Amino acid sequence: MNAVGPRVRQARLASGLTQSALAARLEVRGIKIDRAGVAKIEGRFRQVSDTELLALADALGVSPGWLLQADTAK
């Protein structure tokens, strides 16, 4: 389980990106995560390394801290 999945999805949708487009942005940054991997991260089925966290934040235009924050709004 990971803490960043819902935030990754939120930021991706707010940016108008598909999971494939996010995977492509990560690949440009040297991170090999395919569309299925992005889906697993968003679904909290895949762990995220510190390097991946930094690349996700950069690719999504948010801070790593924001990704780590729990989404308390229901």
For 33-72, write each residue's pLDDT tens digit: 999 999 999 999 999 999 999 999 999 999 999 999 976 5
Q: In the chain, where are the structural domains located?
A: 5-67
**What's residue 74's pLDDT?**
38
pLDDT band at residue 1 using 50, 70 and 90 as cut-offs: confident
- Residues, the chain: 74
Q: Which 3 state secondary structure label does DSSP give 54? A: helix
CA-angle at 57, arms to 11 and 65, nearest 5°: 95
Q: Which two structure tokens, joined as six digits, stand for 52?
A: 């991946």
**What's residue 63's pLDDT?**
97
5-67 folds as 434 Repressor (Amino-terminal Domain) (1.10.260)
Q: Which two structure tokens, joined as six digits, stand for 32?
A: 């090999």
Q: What is the largest CA-CA distance in the chain?
A: 34
